[in-house]
Structure 1
Amino acid sequence: MTTDTLSQTLVVKIGTSSLTQPETGRLALATIASLVEVLSNLRRQGHRVVLVSSGAVGVGCARLGMTERPRAIALKQAVAAVGQGRLIRIYDDFFTSLEQPIAQVLLTRSDLVQRNSYLNVERTFRQLLQLGVIPIVNENDTVAVDELKFGDNDTLSALVANLVRADWLFLLTDVDRLYSADPRNDPDAQPIVRINRMEQLHDLQISVGNPGSRWGTGGMVTKIAAAQIATGAGVRTVITNGRFPKNLEKILQGEAIGTQFEPQPRPASARKRWIAHGLVPTGKLYLDDGAVNAIRSDGRSLLAAGIVQVDGEFQSQEAVLLCERSGQEIARGIVNYRSSELQQIKGHQSDAIAAILGYPGAETVVHRDNLVLS
């Protein structure tokens, strides 16, 4: 999905706090109408647009007369099933009035973990965008299990932005930008307009406030985590106020609204983008200094000799994190051995593997083609 400056791929995520009235949890129809108008205008200008929308559980709660978001998984999934149909119906009514076709795309984490399904999802998005459709994406709460949940739609939107090779990710929330402290409590909180590298967040000692609203699941912590995923995939990311959707057009025209995160160089290979952002790591390998340097500086594969510790239980061809002795992640990749095998061969030279295991194995533990620096 290559783009030029006139035609870009935009992923817009709107959270429950922006979609609903804070007091009642009912939909904020004026905000939705404004958002639909802006997204339809952007489509007419030639941009490719994906909307990641929360709200299914909140809408389901309102529909069923519930006053609090359910905590029990089965109840939450049932409420989401009630709310999702209602939510997409409302979107369809609004978009249809502007003659803009939409599609509903419900994803679970497992859709992105398996390489074949990841590619299938990628092809589906590509076709929808080529048809001029606006996909409306949500997590499939009705069937998702804890082990394979995105956890929040901020993370989902960042992974979708990576999947469609977006130019922009807009995270619409209930504050206008990041601040040095919570502006609702601290009158001296300073606005932060631009983040050039994620390390700035530590330098600025940014306050991320509470974990989310009464009706939502996210908060500033998840938005910063999403920005880290997206910028690492080469996507410029903006946190801004969801109550003013028209700001999207102003930001695209160059106005300094919200907090912008500068993108990092985009991984060249689609496979490496999948390894970096599609897979869920199931274990950790701690490496000696020589292996860390060989991977980080020389772009080499990981050999058994460089491993000092193996954490977690995993199978061959699953994703693992590669870490320094301190635990700092340096890369992630697809491993060629089970964890039980690595416990036996760690620290040993490759030519000793067959004698230790009793059968020949791969020379590399993680081949450089299946490895992505963090």
Structure 2
Amino acid sequence: MVQQKGKTVVIKIGSNVLTQADGSPDKSRMEALVHQMVYLREQGVKIVLISSGAVAFGRKSTVFEEKTDPVVQKQILAAIGQIELINSYKSLFGNRQTPIAQIMVTKSDFRDRKHYLNMKNCLEGLVKNNIIPVINENDTVAVTELMFTDNDELAGLVAAMMDAQEMIILSNVDGIFKGHPNDPDSELIEHVDAKSPSMNSYISSSKSSFGRGGMLTKMNMAKKSADLGIGVIIANGKRENVLVDYYQKTLRCTYFEPSKAKLNPKKWIAHSDHYSKGELIISSGAESALKSSKITSLLPIGVLKVKGDFIKGEIIRIISEDGRKIGLGKAAYGAKVAIEKIGISNQKPIIHYDYLYLHHNNQ
């Protein structure tokens, strides 16, 4: 793990960490984690907090009429619970003379570079003024196609946006195991790097009763974030002094070693698949060139087909001849011009290297 003093760390706390077995809010656990975050801050760590729990907090005292639509139920629970969740944080952090700010977002807030930079500037301004941003998805207005997979995805996007050095995902297990976490004989996978074999076979796809995601989504987001140059820790938020142990480098967890840090535009592009407006089918030769160790932009001569009606500046997918997702990029010109330039040499890149992100593994 990197030296923490002076670094930016995104901490994501899952719903199952902030609730007890009976579904009621775990205020003592929240208080313990707040005290530890203040400790990190006192050591010079810059913190951005992503917190789930609004729906769980709203569930404890809400009774619905029969036949209430499930989506409406969740919106109501989120609306009620978010008040209690943020007030609890405000009180607990306030007791330690630590100011916070509430940020509610949906996926559409990150839909283009302008919105992305507006959010980035806001968060950076808060952190520079020693205010801890507390971020959660705005479940009251999000619809299915605009929802994050879960707050792990949101945490990964924010960590990339803030050029964070590390991201801590707090769940109710110590990390990723070679077997069921409750099996005492299961081995904890403590270190993962770009050369580590796939761990999919070890992970159950089950989800908690309060959260949307499971360990598989955590692992996938951790791998993507590590590929962007962000170290990722998956740890047990119910473990005593989990964040103190993290700082002191004694934490039992799964750590994803970061690759070389990418430029911020690449980090934005890496999380922009949902906003892509078209596709470029490229030749095997172009694919090999992009994956080589040389800095390479995508040129029209390597494009076989253009799909979609994108314009300059929009995100487009890069697809191999056999249909694999190779990467994403920002179009240097629109689809009409791109079609005219297919296969022609000595042309301006359709995707410049600085605005090109390649998937770590083909999908």
After TM superposition, give the deviation of residue 310 of structure 1 in Å. Answer: 4.6
After TM superposition, give the deviation of residue 38 of structure 1 in Å. Answer: 0.4
* 1:372 is aligned to 2:354: no
- Equivalent position to 2:115, from 109, 114, 117: 117
Give, in whole Å, the separation in 2 of the partners of 1:96 and 1:102: 8
Alignment match, 2:327: 331
Give, in whole Å, the separation in 2 of the partners of 1:308 and 1:208: 38
Give, in whole Å, the separation in 1 of the partners of 2:42 and 2:325: 43
SS in 2 for 1:212: coil
The answer as to whether partners of 1:26 and 1:62 remain within 8 angstroms in 2 is yes
Alignment match, 2:11: 12
**Distance verdict in 2 for CA 1:299–1:329, change over 3 Å:** farther
State the AA in 1 paired with 2:18. Answer: L
Give, in whole Å, the separation in 1 of the partners of 2:283 and 2:118: 38
1:47-104 per-residue CA deviation (whole Å, 9 max, x = no partner) reads 111111001112122231469xx97333322321111111101111111111111110
After TM superposition, give the deviation of residue 309 of structure 1 in Å. Answer: 4.4
The answer as to whether partners of 1:9 and 1:166 remain within 8 angstroms in 2 is yes
Alignment match, 2:196: 200
| Higher deviation after alignment, 43-52 or 309-318 | 309-318
RMSD (CA atoms) = 2.6
Alignment match, 2:152: 154
State the AA in 1 paired with 2:150. Answer: D
* 1:46 is aligned to 2:44: yes
**Distance verdict in 2 for CA 1:155–1:6, change over 3 Å:** same
State the AA in 2 paired with 1:56. Answer: A
- Equivalent position to 1:28, from 26, 29, 34: 26
After TM superposition, give the deviation of residue 279 of structure 1 in Å. Answer: 5.9
Give, in whole Å, the separation in 2 of the partners of 1:85 and 1:201: 43
SS in 2 for 1:46: coil
The answer as to whether partners of 1:176 and 1:258 remain within 8 angstroms in 2 is yes
Give, in whole Å, the separation in 2 of the partners of 1:222 and 1:66: 31
SS in 2 for 1:103: strand
Aligned length in residues = 354
* TM-score where L is the length of structure 1: 0.85
* 1:321 is aligned to 2:317: yes
* 1:211 is aligned to 2:196: no
**Distance verdict in 2 for CA 1:245–1:88, change over 3 Å:** farther
Give, in whole Å, the separation in 1 of the partners of 2:222 and 2:60: 31
* 1:301 is aligned to 2:282: no
SS in 2 for 1:294: helix
Give 5+ residue unaligned stretches, structure 2.
none
SS in 2 for 1:372: strand
After TM superposition, give the deviation of residue 177 of structure 1 in Å. Answer: 1.6
Alignment match, 2:91: 93
Give, in whole Å, the separation in 1 of the partners of 2:273 and 2:283: 24
State the AA in 2 paired with 1:236. Answer: G
The answer as to whether partners of 1:172 and 1:241 remain within 8 angstroms in 2 is yes
After TM superposition, give the deviation of residue 319 of structure 1 in Å. Answer: 1.2
Give, in whole Å, the separation in 2 of the partners of 1:240 and 1:206: 20
The answer as to whether partners of 2:64 and 2:73 remain within 8 angstroms in 1 is no
- Equivalent position to 1:79, from 77, 80, 95: 77
1:268-297 per-residue CA deviation (whole Å, 9 max, x = no partner) reads x33232222356352433311221123232
* 1:271 is aligned to 2:271: no
1:331-355 per-residue CA deviation (whole Å, 9 max, x = no partner) reads 310124555776x55853268xxxx
Give, in whole Å, the separation in 2 of the partners of 1:148 and 1:228: 22
State the AA in 1 paired with 2:136. Answer: N
The answer as to whether partners of 1:20 and 1:27 remain within 8 angstroms in 2 is yes
Give, in whole Å, the separation in 2 of the partners of 1:120 and 1:209: 37
After TM superposition, give the deviation of residue 312 of structure 1 in Å. Answer: 5.7
- Equivalent position to 2:215, from 217, 220, 223: 220
* 1:248 is aligned to 2:243: yes
Give 5+ residue unaligned stretches, structure 1.
352-361
* TM-score where L is the length of structure 2: 0.88
| Higher deviation after alignment, 145-154 or 130-139 | 145-154
Alignment match, 1:292: 287
| Higher deviation after alignment, 208-217 or 270-279 | 270-279
Give, in whole Å, the separation in 2 of the partners of 1:100 and 1:161: 21
SS in 2 for 1:255: coil
After TM superposition, give the deviation of residue 17 of structure 1 in Å. Answer: 0.8
